[in-house]
Amino acid sequence: MEKIVAAVPDDHQKEGVYSLSIEFDANTDGWYLNGHDKNGAALFDFWNMSEQDAKELALQDWGVAISAWEQGGSAEKLKVVDCNGTLLQDGDTVTVIKDLDVKGAGQTVKRGTTIKNISLTQDPELIDCRTKDIKGLVLKTCFVKKL
């Protein structure tokens, strides 16, 4: 997976967004722009756009100059493992191994819930995912196992 990253200038850190990444998703054959907080957790993402459109959106909304983007390397180089030590990659399908209360959503992700098409984060202990009820969910890798 190709990934490029940029820091958001101090005067444009709207809503606590400190960095942005643009990643290519081979499943949809498009790019997505992802905003991260100071801990690296994903705050939002915009899907299926061109790389140039993502950079222009970042410039307009977040003040990130087009020249400020740096190659972030491959997300697969991160050593991200599930509860059993199995290597996880972007696009994998996982299952939740215990009931998890979701802060702020007032819902519980039940044990055995299958989550498809996960995304790795900058933190090897966290993954981004979504369920049919909860969008923008971040889970600890110690609570999931690869299918």
Domain chopping of the chain, boundaries = 3-73, 76-146
Q: For residue 58, what is the enclosing H or E element? A: helix 51-62
**Which has the higher per-residue pLDDT, 39 or 9?**
9
Pairwise CA distance, residues 31 & 23, whole Å: 6
- Rank 35-39, 66-70, 76-80, 89-93 by mean pLDDT and report only the highest: 89-93
Mean local confidence (pLDDT), 109-127:
88
Q: Which pLDDT belongs to residue 35?
A: 87
Distance CA 142, CA 84 (A): 8
Q: Which fold has domain 76-146?
A: SH3 type barrels. (2.30.30)
In this predicted structure, the answer to whether residue 87 has a pLDDT above a threshold of 60 is: yes
pLDDT at 76: 41
103 pLDDT band, cuts 50/70/90, is confident
